[in-house]
């Protein structure tokens, strides 16, 4: 690499960049305008043309082409120079040289030691836990080694080149040190597989610029420039091929025609030997193919012209007999070894929809149309073919063709007709043929079809009947934003380009919602609560299980359309804010406007961690401040370019930092709460300043800056920025987060996923850090007796001899003090006092402090939620009539509850003429349930060991969207740590449906055993039962009803009543309940126990917590009647146990 850099540093030719995909419809007028290096197109001109185009179109239509531009605009807006243009490729290249030490004039003399050690976090793979269109990252091109088919290369738009030597099971990349790691074309020398060429940059969306063609002679381990490099390369390039008969000859398609080399890349030209144009000079060539078995014949296409070369690419001429004379906006082509004379052209019309397929059987001399919009319908399903359009012909059958725009379609050509079949659906991730939306690449290798999409790349070995995702192992995700839990850097959530929200927990990545994932947040009090926006703030998706599922969603405020990346911030009090035209706060699952509108969307939002009443917002280049939690804002400053980030110092909140846009943007600092700012950009080259963060718990106030070329660090000693980049690829860092509790920085990159490094730390004079809270898990505690423990660390220099703890149970504080010896940087585990809890949901939290404690940011534990349960009584029917009969109810990990107890009053789900006071549990007592809900109704804990043949019984009625919304029962034998579906649909009197998740493209929430449907008989209360004999050794068993609704269509839901665990007693003989009659029941406290033949028995009465309230041994009847007086006890539910020498019975009593 040093050789390359030294060579190119001497060159100074300016190559234009900065123009969006030339085929996009709004670019047509700009393309007709004469542009030179002295008069380049300006960024705002492109944006204005885009906005004008969309004034009369709906951007919300899937596949409309709106999103690809917004991604480009958002990314490159930070690069805009003061003159309104984007930097040239050479300017970006020279910045790269500066960053990597070739130009040291601006480096500080008091250099910080780069102590970074970046390691990749991923995603390398992921599981789908809620996304309707799961994926990991875009793949532009895939090529198989012609000599070793198990070796595959894949190119990403901003993630580099990836290599697998085991057919896609494992991947490595060797391009992280290249100055640009976008790849759109790959060529492997079939005479020597160690020789590889890549066409750099992103030809479809311009996520990265081109630095020309790079070459490797060692199988991709190292790379060198060729004669087509950043000094003379066109803006973009795509297909590249090596002449199979002469490895010195290559061709590459570019935005300036077809370039050819005859000396293995030393020199390149798009001219004839006479110095004239080869026929494609100045033309944007979108596709290039070489005729099988005859490399003298080449085919190339521009947006609307087919070009043919019969002399090995020395010259091309436009032809196309049989192709449309007009009305075409884009062509792509393919050939097949099944018949070397065949070449196909796939065309899109002027609206970028499907126009037709054309076939030539004479090497491109003449074409016949074999498919059309009129005959075949719109197989594109979109109007974004200017962005992604892929086409492939089977390498074994000339009449088997494949197209891709939104989804992949397969066509069988028969003469002049083609029969197309849709192979997959981008929103059906459980299909065997699923591939992510937006198909950029289709090609056959040895009978296998490879597809490159916005979500990864896929392989089919059976003609598209099924696809296998081979992206696992490739870290190519393009992150917009990232959030890290306060307690640990091992919990992460971030938003990805076109691949939704990805959550990281327990070492695993989970794709928990779809679309374009944007800004994200994690609750500082509960690290399981994740939040993530989609594009334009259109939807907020929550997970209360750290990404294990979607817990719910919130629509954008009425009439609001936020920025592509709408800011989302949770303050230190766990209050969530967002920025549209006004500042909004999430209250009761709705966005509520806090401020007045600002005239334009809020671009940046920052809330002071030390004082949550202080909020900063930026609109364009102006910063404003509120000191009353966002109600009122005052103007502070207008900078010379747009604001990209704001950060409040975590130790002294009078200090505020601001970064501004453009490669010539700056970093500013205020020491008076934003009244005045000074420039602190010393040491920074012409990189974008994307995200700035302040490191707390450090007297030198370190700052970290994410830029277009890595991360920089600054502190009060050096007063200059220095690289913090060891191990980090050459990639744009779009966001950074710091966690001072585990001393890590997390970087979100636009092409290489998430990376982390340790950060330098400093010990205070005295400081205690609460490391973790143990002894409280996420289970449900039966008869909860809690024994909490805390781990603390001495984060100071002095030895700690005492620590004071305050622990809170449901907000009520208690104190505990520890005495001992804890030396500097040592840890210890301390037992806190034990306590018991009543049934219900409880919140527990601990804080710590020591004498002279310097920092309090590290003193608090995470808030823990405890669900306390109690023992249930077998053979007692729970009718849910009183508060004492309430069950535990909660949504997935959330504090709210969805099941509700009361009198049902739905149109179908009601008491059906029964006692109108009869109470049940229902998903909604008065109407339809909500979308996107997963909620639990949990029974008490039962001991089944006393029963010979236990059963669970209950009455239930339901109306549920069939095969989409469901209810089922789970059980747990380990206090709720693990849950398993109880039974299956083959069991008598149990589930009515056995559809598996994704079966027939339905029931994506289904475990394969559930109740679902809308048949009238389902809406009638019916007794259901299940034999629990296999569990009769269990002494602590719980059950729960799981209600799960999908994203749309609702019905009335579910009602449940008369729940009981029943069975025959093992230890004593059962006697008929008719031997005893208890009346009145309910009563005001006095009950009569009437017997037939029994005169003496033992009586005991318990409340719902299991506490004995009354006991009488050898109770005697009077005329076969015993008077039981409970009038002195509180109203509620009690359990009466009657026992003789040979039998026992339990009855429920209700005292009104």
Outline where 660-761 has alpha helix (H).
Answer: none
How far apart are alpha carbons 1013 and 463 in whole angstroms?
Answer: 36
How far apart are alpha carbons 180 and 751 in whole angstroms?
Answer: 11
Task: Assess whether 354 and 379 both reside in one domain.
Answer: yes
CATH number at residue 1057: 2.60.120.260
**Partners of 386 in the beta sheet?**
none
> Domain total for the chain?
6
Task: Assess whether 877 and 818 both reside in one domain.
Answer: no
In a domain, 558, yes or no: no
What is the separation, in whole angstroms, between the first and last Cα of the chain?
86
The torsion region of residue 327 among left (phi > 0), alpha (psi -120 to 50) and beta comes to left
In a domain, 980, yes or no: yes
Reply yes or no on whether the pLDDT at 164 is more than 80. Answer: yes
Peptide bond between residue 680 and the one before it cis (omega within 30 degrees of 0)? no
At 1088-1105, the pLDDT tens digits run: 888 877 888 889 888 765
> What is the tally of helices (H) and strands (E) in the chain?
6, 83
How far apart are alpha carbons 1122 and 1108 in whole angstroms?
Answer: 19
* Strand blocks (E) in 454-551: 456-460, 468-469, 479-484, 492-496, 500-505, 508-513, 517-522, 530-534, 539-543
In a domain, 510, yes or no: no
Neighbours of 943 (CB within 10 A): 16
CATH number at residue 1093: 2.60.40.3080
Q: What is the pLDDT of residue 31?
A: 65
Peptide bond between residue 1080 and the one before it cis (omega within 30 degrees of 0)? yes
How far apart are alpha carbons 446 and 828 in whole angstroms?
Answer: 61
Asked whether 653 and 610 are in contact (CB, 8 A), the reply is yes
| Domain-ending residue, one of 284, 300, 319 | 319
How far apart are alpha carbons 124 and 513 in whole angstroms?
Answer: 18
Reply yes or no on whether the pLDDT at 1067 is more than 50. Answer: no
Q: What is the pLDDT of residue 1081?
A: 82
How far apart are alpha carbons 90 and 95 in whole angstroms?
Answer: 9
Reply yes or no on whether the pLDDT at 1071 is more than 60. Answer: no
In a domain, 22, yes or no: yes
The tokens of 489 are what? 């850097």
CATH number at residue 432: 2.130.10.10
Measured in whole angstroms, the distance separating CA 235 from the mean position of its chain's CA atoms is 32
In a domain, 570, yes or no: no
Reply yes or no on whether the pLDDT at 12 is more than 70. Answer: no
Q: What is the pLDDT of residue 11?
A: 33
In a domain, 695, yes or no: no
The tokens of 1039 are what? 């059950």
Q: What is the pLDDT of residue 977?
A: 85
Average pLDDT for residues 295-303, to the nearest whole number?
A: 98
365: Cβ contacts below 8 Å, ≥ 6 apart: 308, 319, 321
Q: Where residue 108 falls among pLDDT bands split at 50, 70, 90?
A: very low
Task: Assess whether 970 and 903 both reside in one domain.
Answer: yes
Q: What is the pLDDT of residue 1104?
A: 63
Task: Assess whether 77 and 162 both reside in one domain.
Answer: no
Total length of the chain: 1152
At 321-357, the pLDDT tens digits run: 999 999 999 999 999 999 999 999 999 999 999 999 9
Reply yes or no on whether the pLDDT at 123 is more than 80. Answer: yes
Average pLDDT for residues 104-126, to the nearest whole number?
A: 79
Task: Assess whether 230 and 303 both reside in one domain.
Answer: yes
Measured in whole angstroms, the distance separating CA 595 from the mean position of its chain's CA atoms is 30
What's 861's DSSP letter?
A: P
Q: What is the pLDDT of residue 916?
A: 57
CA-nearest of 123, 119, 159 to 507 is 123
In a domain, 645, yes or no: no
Q: What is the pLDDT of residue 38?
A: 67
CA-nearest of 302, 353, 349 to 65 is 353
Structural domain harbouring 938: 871-1062
What are the distances in angstroms from CA 844 to CA 380, 863, 866, 1019?
Answer: 55, 6, 7, 41
How far apart are alpha carbons 161 and 221 in whole angstroms?
Answer: 11
Reply yes or no on whether the pLDDT at 1077 is more than 90. Answer: no
Task: Assess whether 931 and 1038 both reside in one domain.
Answer: yes
The torsion region of residue 716 among left (phi > 0), alpha (psi -120 to 50) and beta comes to alpha
Asked whether 764 and 798 are in contact (CB, 8 A), the reply is no
Q: Rg of the chain's alpha carbons, rounded to an integer?
A: 34
Where do we find the tokens 């010379």? Answer: 640
Q: What is the pLDDT of residue 796?
A: 97
Peptide bond between residue 968 and the one before it cis (omega within 30 degrees of 0)? no
Measured in whole angstroms, the distance separating CA 456 from the mean position of its chain's CA atoms is 15
Dump the DSSP string for 873-898. -TT--B---SGGG--EEEETT-SS--
How far apart are alpha carbons 1033 and 944 in whole angstroms?
Answer: 6
| Domain-ending residue, one of 47, 69, 86 | 86
Greatest C-alpha distance within the chain: 127
Reply yes or no on whether the pLDDT at 376 is more than 50. Answer: yes
Task: Assess whether 201 and 269 both reside in one domain.
Answer: yes
Asked whether 356 and 369 are in contact (CB, 8 A), the reply is yes
Average pLDDT for residues 538-557, to the nearest whole number?
A: 92
How far apart are alpha carbons 546 and 1055 in whole angstroms?
Answer: 29
Task: Assess whether 315 and 328 both reside in one domain.
Answer: no
Q: What is the pLDDT of residue 18?
A: 52
Where do we find the tokens 């089919």? Answer: 460
β-strands 552-555, 456-460 pairing: unpaired
Q: Where residue 751 falls among pLDDT bands split at 50, 70, 90?
A: very high
| Domain-ending residue, one of 46, 65, 86 | 86
3-state secondary structure of 950: coil
Average pLDDT for residues 914-935, to the nearest whole number?
A: 84
Question: pTM score > 0.85 for this model?
Answer: yes
The tokens of 875 are what? 């053979």
Least confident of 311-315, 617-621, 743-747, 985-989: 985-989
What's 284's DSSP letter?
A: -
Least confident of 29-33, 482-486, 508-512: 29-33
Reply yes or no on whether the pLDDT at 17 is more than 50. Answer: no
How far apart are alpha carbons 295 and 649 in whole angstroms?
Answer: 64
Asked whether 717 and 700 are in contact (CB, 8 A), the reply is yes
Q: Which helix (H) or strand (E) holds 720?
A: none
Q: What is the pLDDT of residue 204?
A: 94
How far apart are alpha carbons 160 and 751 in whole angstroms?
Answer: 8
Where do we find the tokens 């990281």? Answer: 504
921: Cβ contacts below 8 Å, ≥ 6 apart: 880, 887, 889, 899, 900, 901, 937, 1041, 1055, 1056, 1057
CATH number at residue 831: 2.60.40.10
Where do we find the tokens 């076109």? Answer: 498
Task: Assess whether 161 and 52 both reside in one domain.
Answer: no
What's 748's DSSP letter?
A: E
Q: What integer best gives the mean pLDDT of the chain?
A: 92
CA-nearest of 970, 1108, 962, 988 to 1038 is 970
Reply yes or no on whether the pLDDT at 1072 is more than 80. Answer: no
Least confident of 44-53, 251-260, 753-762, 778-787: 778-787
Task: Assess whether 186 and 331 both reside in one domain.
Answer: no
Task: Assess whether 266 and 352 both reside in one domain.
Answer: no
At 37-75, the pLDDT tens digits run: 667 889 999 999 999 999 998 888 877 889 999 999 999
3-state secondary structure of 142: strand
Dump the DSSP string for 831-861. EPPPEE--SEEEEEEEEEE-TT----TTSBP
Task: Assess whether 52 and 172 both reside in one domain.
Answer: no
3-state secondary structure of 104: coil
CA-nearest of 325, 304, 308 to 363 is 308
Dump the DSSP string for 357-422. EEEESSTTSB-EEEEEHHHH--SS-SS-TTT--EEEE-SS-TTEEEEESSSEEEEEEETTEEEEEE
How far apart are alpha carbons 359 and 343 in whole angstroms?
Answer: 6
Q: What is the pLDDT of residue 8?
A: 36
Give the neighbor-by-neighbor strand order of the sheet with 408-414.
390-393, 400-404, 408-414, 417-422
CA-nearest of 137, 327, 157, 118 to 236 is 157
Q: What is the pLDDT of residue 458?
A: 98
Q: Where residue 243 falls among pLDDT bands split at 50, 70, 90?
A: very high
Average pLDDT for residues 756-770, to the nearest whole number?
A: 97
How far apart are alpha carbons 691 and 732 in whole angstroms?
Answer: 11
Check the CA dihedral 469-470-474-478 and report its sign. Answer: negative
CA-nearest of 819, 874, 841, 850 to 1034 is 874
Q: Where residue 106 falls among pLDDT bands split at 50, 70, 90?
A: very low
Q: In the chain, what percentage of residues exceed pLDDT 90?
A: 76
Give the neighbor-by-neighbor strand order of the sheet with 643-648.
643-648, 656-660, 667-670, 678-679
At 1028-1042, the pLDDT tens digits run: 988 988 889 999 999
In a domain, 429, yes or no: yes
Q: Which helix (H) or strand (E) holds 934?
A: strand 934-938
Q: Where residue 190 falls among pLDDT bands split at 50, 70, 90?
A: very high
What's 246's DSSP letter?
A: -
What are the distances in angstroms from CA 298 to CA 251, 318, 363, 1100?
Answer: 9, 12, 9, 95
The tokens of 793 are what? 């660390």
Dump the DSSP string for 998-1023. TGGG--TT-BS-BB-B--GGGGS-EE
């Amino acid at each position: 690499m040093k050789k390359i850099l030294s060579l190119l540093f001497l060159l100074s030719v300016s190559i234009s960049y900065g123009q969006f995909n030339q085929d996009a419809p709004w670019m047509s007028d700009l393309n007709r305008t004469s542009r030179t290096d002295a008069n380049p197109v300006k960024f705002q001109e492109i944006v204005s043309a885009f906005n004008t185009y969309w004034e009369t179109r709906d951007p919300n239509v899937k596949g409309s082409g709106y999103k690809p531009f917004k991604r480009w605009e958002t990314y490159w807006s930070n690069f805009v120079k003061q003159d309104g243009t984007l930097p040239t490729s050479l300017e970006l290249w020279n910045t790269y040289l500066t960053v990597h030490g070739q130009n040291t004039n601006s480096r500080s003399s008091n250099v910080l030691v780069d102590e970074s050690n970046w390691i990749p976090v991923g995603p390398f793979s992921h599981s789908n836990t809620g996304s309707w269109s799961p994926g990991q990252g875009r793949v532009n091109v895939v090529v198989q080694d012609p000599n070793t088919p198990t070796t595959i290369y894949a190119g990403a738009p901003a993630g580099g080149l990836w290599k697998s030597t085991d057919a896609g099971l494992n991947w490595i990349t060797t391009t992280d040190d290249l100055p640009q790691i976008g790849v759109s074309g790959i060529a492997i020398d079939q005479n020597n597989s160690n020789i590889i060429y890549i066409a750099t940059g992103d030809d479809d969306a311009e996520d990265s610029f081109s630095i020309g063609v790079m070459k490797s002679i060692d199988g991709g381990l190292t790379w060198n420039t060729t004669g087509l490099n950043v000094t003379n390369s066109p803006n973009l390039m795509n297909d590249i091929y090596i002449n199979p008969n002469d490895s010195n000859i290559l061709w590459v398609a570019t935005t300036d025609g077809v370039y050819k080399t005859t000396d293995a890349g030393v020199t390149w030209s798009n001219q004839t030997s006479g110095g004239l144009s080869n026929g494609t000079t100045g033309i944007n060539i979108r596709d290039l193919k070489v005729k099988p078995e005859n490399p003298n014949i080449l085919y190339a296409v521009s947006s609307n012209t087919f070009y043919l070369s019969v002399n090995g690419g020395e010259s091309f001429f436009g032809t196309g007999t049989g192709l449309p004379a007009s009305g075409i906006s884009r062509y792509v082509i393919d050939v097949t070894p099944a018949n070397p004379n065949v070449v196909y052209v796939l065309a899109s019309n002027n609206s970028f929809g499907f126009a037709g397929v054309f076939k030539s059987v004479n090497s491109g001399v003449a074409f016949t149309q074999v498919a059309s919009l009129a005959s075949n319908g719109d197989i594109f399903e979109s109007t974004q073919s200017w962005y992604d359009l892929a086409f492939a012909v089977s390498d074994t059958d000339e009449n088997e063709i494949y197209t891709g725009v939104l989804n992949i379609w397969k066509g069988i050509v028969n003469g002049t007709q083609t029969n197309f079949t849709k192979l997959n659906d981008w929103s059906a991730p459980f299909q065997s043929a699923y591939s992510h939306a937006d198909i950029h690449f289709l090609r056959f290798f040895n009978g296998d079809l490879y597809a490159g999409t916005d979500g990864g790349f896929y392989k089919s070995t059976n003609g598209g009947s099924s696809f296998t995702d081979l992206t696992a192992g490739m870290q190519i995700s393009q992150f917009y934003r990232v959030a890290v839990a306060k307690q640990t850097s091992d919990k992460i959530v971030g938003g990805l380009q076109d691949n939704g929200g990805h959550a990281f927990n327990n070492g695993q990545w989970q794709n928990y919602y779809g679309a374009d994932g944007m800004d994200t947040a994690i609750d500082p009090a509960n690290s399981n609560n994740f939040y993530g926006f989609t594009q334009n703030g259109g939807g907020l998706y929550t997970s209360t299980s750290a990404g294990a599922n979607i817990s719910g969603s919130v629509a954008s405020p009425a009439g609001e359309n936020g920025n592509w990346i709408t800011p989302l911030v949770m303050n230190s009090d766990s209050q969530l804010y967002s920025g549209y035209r006004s500042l909004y706060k999430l209250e009761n699952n709705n966005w509520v406007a806090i401020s007045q509108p600002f005239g334009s969307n809020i671009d940046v939002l920052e809330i002071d961690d030390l004082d949550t009443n202080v909020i900063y917002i930026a609109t364009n280049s102006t910063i404003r401040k509120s000191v009353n939690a966002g109600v009122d804002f005052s103007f502070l400053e207008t900078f010379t370019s747009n604001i990209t980030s704001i950060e409040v110092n975590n130790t002294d909140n009078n200090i505020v930092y601001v970064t501004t846009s453009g490669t010539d943007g700056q970093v500013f600092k205020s020491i008076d709460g934003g009244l005045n700012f000074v420039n602190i950009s010393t040491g920074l080259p012409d990189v974008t300043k994307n995200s700035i963060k302040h490191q707390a718990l450090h007297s030198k106030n370190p700052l970290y800056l994410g830029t277009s070329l890595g991360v920089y660090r600054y502190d009060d000693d050096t007063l200059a920025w220095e690289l913090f980049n060891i191990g980090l690829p050459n990639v744009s860092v779009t966001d950074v987060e710091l966690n001072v509790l585990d001393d890590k920085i997390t970087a979100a990159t636009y092409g290489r996923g998430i990376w982390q490094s340790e950060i330098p730390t400093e010990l205070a004079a005295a400081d205690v850090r609460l490391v973790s809270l143990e002894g409280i898990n996420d289970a449900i505690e039966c008869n909860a007796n809690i024994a909490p423990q805390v781990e603390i660390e001495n984060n100071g220099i002095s030895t700690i001899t005492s620590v004071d703890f305050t622990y809170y149970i449901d907000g009520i504080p208690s104190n505990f003090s520890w005495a001992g010896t804890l030396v500097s940087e040592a840890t210890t585990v301390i037992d806190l006092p034990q306590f018991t809890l009543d049934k219900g949901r409880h919140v527990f939290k601990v804080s710590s402090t020591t004498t002279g404690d310097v920092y309090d940011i590290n003193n608090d534990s995470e808030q823990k939620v405890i669900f306390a349960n109690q023992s249930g009584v077998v053979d007692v029917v729970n009718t849910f009539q009183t508060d004492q009969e309430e069950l535990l109810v909660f949504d997935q990990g959330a504090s709210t509850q969805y099941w509700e107890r009361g009198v049902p009053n739905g149109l179908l789900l009601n008491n059906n003429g029964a006692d109108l006071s009869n109470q049940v549990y229902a998903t909604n007592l008065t109407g339809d349930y909500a979308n996107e809900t997963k909620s639990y109704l949990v029974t008490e804990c039962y001991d089944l060991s006393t029963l010979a043949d236990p059963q669970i019984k209950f009455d239930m009625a339901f109306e549920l969207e069939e095969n989409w919304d469901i209810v089922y029962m789970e059980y747990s034998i380990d206090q709720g740590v693990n849950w398993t579906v109880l039974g299956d649909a083959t069991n008598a009197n149990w589930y009515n449906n056995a559809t598996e998740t994704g079966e027939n493209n339905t029931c994506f929430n289904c475990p394969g055993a559930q109740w679902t449907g809308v048949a009238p008989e389902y809406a009638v209360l019916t007794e259901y039962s299940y034999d629990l004999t296999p569990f009769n050794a269990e002494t602590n068993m719980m059950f729960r009803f799981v209600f799960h609704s999908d994203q749309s269509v609702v019905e009335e839901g579910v009602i449940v009543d008369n729940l009981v665990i029943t069975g025959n007693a093992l230890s004593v003989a059962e006697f008929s309940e008719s031997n005893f009659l208890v009346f009145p029941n309910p009563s005001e406290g006095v009950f009569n126990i009437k017997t037939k033949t029994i005169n003496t028995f033992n009586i005991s009465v318990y409340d719902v917590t299991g506490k004995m309230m009354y006991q009488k041994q050898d109770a005697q009847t009077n005329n076969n009647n015993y008077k039981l007086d409970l009038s002195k006890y509180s109203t509620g539910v009690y359990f009466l146990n009657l026992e003789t020498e040979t039998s026992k019975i339990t009855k429920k009593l209700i005292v009104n």
